[in-house]
């Protein structure tokens, strides 16, 4: 087990500087254009693929970093560049992680390369879980998967929403209900291969922020996929459902629910790191502006009202990063989140990003409110962090329940 440290080693610093260079030289110059276009920035993704950033190998190396700091470091630097473009680059990872976590070796070897393509023909993938009536309340999911034993096929029907890369993806990973009586424990994940009949893109959302990232509904109408596309396989699913039914009969359902919650907890620090990157970017713009913008014959940073804001901004950013790093180290080293440390990191970092980007606009004044400066875009982007991967309200609920042991509603 790696000791917890706040100092990156030489290899990590080299990767950080490489990512920062890509974010500064490739992502940032393209940010305003793709925000305005509200389209997937394929040329930027292709550049990321050429240098090795858009690849499973890169993210696997960071994920298996024994210090736990690889992923948060990478997320912070990329999202420092621009949140919308960065999400387009890392969004495929959501689907890839779904396959890595639940798939067989054969499924991993078959489908993950299909998700990324190569530098000359980049592909993207989509993870489809949320539904119009099932966001935070995953037990209300309605998309159904029915097994056709005669043909060894699964038939999927339903509508997914808020899917990053939904409808434009080469591969879709879809979560569906296979046993409604078991609630969230009766769900399974499926691969929908490219060009499968019955899958279509529904509404593409025009969003407040992260507009370079494609977000849309995915409609599934009698989508037939081979039995081999059930992640983990039919035998493993049957065994898991049997255990869940037995535990439900024995009154042990809550234990299973908490185990599932622990899995979600482990993924939240990465979102916190994204928020830290956006907050840091806005703070740096505000700091540079305050040192060069003059009013009444002196830089505005000479005024306590501005200087104290910047001091608070930097303090909050550093505190958020430390919470993210602590949770990331705990997750990779198997330390239990006894105080919901994963949710703490995501909650504090996402709220910090909203506050810091708003303060940056205030420091820039009228200029900050225009699109001539990037802080208004950063502020729009920051709003998503308090919503996806569990809203701030859900994070507070998880923390309160964990600390109190009470079923707080």
CA 314 from centre of chain: 24
Check if 389 is active-site: yes
Name the nearest CA neighbour of 210 among 52, 367, 387. Answer: 387
Token pair, residue 140, equals 């209300």
Secondary element (H or E) of residue 9: none
135 Cβ contact partners less than 8 Å away, ≥ 6 residues apart: 162
Catalytic residue among 36, 106, 389, 393, which? 389
Element (H, E) at 399: helix 392-404
Give the integer Cα–Cα distance in Å for 84 and 212.
Answer: 5
CA distances 326 to 139, 274, 323, 355, Å, are 30, 15, 5, 22
Determine the straight-line distance between the first and last CA of the chain, rounded to whole angstroms: 37
Distance, CA of 142 to CA of 383 (rounded, Å): 28
Query: Quick one: residue 9, left, alpha or beta (phi over 0 = left, psi -120 to 50 = alpha)?
Result: beta
Q: What's CA 325's distance to the chain center, in Å?
A: 16
Angle among Cα 28, 268, 126 to the nearest 5 degrees reads 65
Q: Which tokens go with 139? A: 């037990």
**Neighbouring C-beta atoms of residue 407, cutoff 10 Å:** 7
Task: Write phi, then psi, for 156 (nearest 5 degrees).
Answer: -110, 135
Catalytic residue IDs: 389
């Amino acid at each position: 087990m790696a000791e917890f440290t706040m100092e990156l080693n030489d290899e990590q610093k080299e990767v950080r500087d490489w990512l920062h260079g890509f974010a500064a030289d490739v992502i940032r110059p393209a940010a305003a254009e793709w925000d305005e276009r509200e389209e997937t920035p394929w040329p930027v993704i292709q550049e990321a693929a050429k240098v090795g950033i858009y690849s499973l190998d890169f993210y696997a190396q960071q994920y298996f970093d024994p210090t736990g700091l690889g992923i948060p470091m990478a997320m912070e630097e990329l999202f420092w560049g621009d949140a919308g473009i960065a999400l387009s680059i890392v969004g495929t990872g959501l689907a890839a992680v779904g396959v890595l976590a639940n798939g067989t070796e054969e499924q991993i070897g078959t489908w993950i390369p299909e998700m990324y393509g190569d530098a000359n023909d980049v592909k993207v993938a989509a993870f489809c879980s949320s539904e119009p009536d099932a966001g935070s309340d995953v037990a209300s999911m309605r998309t159904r998967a029915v097994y056709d034993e005669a043909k060894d096929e699964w038939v999927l029907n339903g509508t997914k929403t808020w899917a990053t890369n939904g409808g434009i993806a080469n591969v879709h990973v879809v979560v569906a209900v296979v046993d409604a009586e078991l609630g969230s424990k009766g769900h399974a994940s499926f691969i929908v291969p490219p060009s499968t009949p019955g899958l279509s893109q529904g509404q593409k959302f025009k969003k407040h922020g992260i507009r370079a990232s494609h977000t849309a509904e995915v409609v599934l109408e009698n989508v037939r996929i081979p039995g081999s596309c059930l992640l983990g396989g039919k035998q493993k699913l049957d065994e898991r459902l049997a255990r869940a039914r037995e535990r439900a009969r024995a009154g042990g359902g809550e234990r299973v629910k908490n185990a599932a919650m622990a899995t979600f907890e482990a993924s939240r620090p990465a979102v916190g790191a994204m928020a830290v990157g956006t907050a840091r970017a806005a703070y740096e713009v505000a700091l540079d502006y305050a040192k060069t913008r003059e009013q009444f014959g002196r830089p505005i940073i000479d005024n306590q009202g501005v200087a104290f804001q910047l001091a608070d901004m930097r303090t909050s950013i550093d505190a958020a990063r430390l919470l993210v790093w602590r949770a990331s180290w705990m997750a990779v080293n198997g330390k239990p989140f006894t105080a919901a440390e994963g949710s703490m990191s995501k909650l504090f970092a996402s709220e910090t990003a909203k506050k810091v980007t708003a303060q940056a606009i205030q420091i820039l004044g009228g200029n900050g409110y225009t699109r001539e400066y990037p802080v208004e875009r950063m502020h729009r982007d920051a709003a998503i962090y308090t919503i996806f991967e569990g809203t701030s309200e859900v994070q507070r609920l998880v923390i309160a329940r964990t600390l109190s042991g009470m079923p707080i509603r």
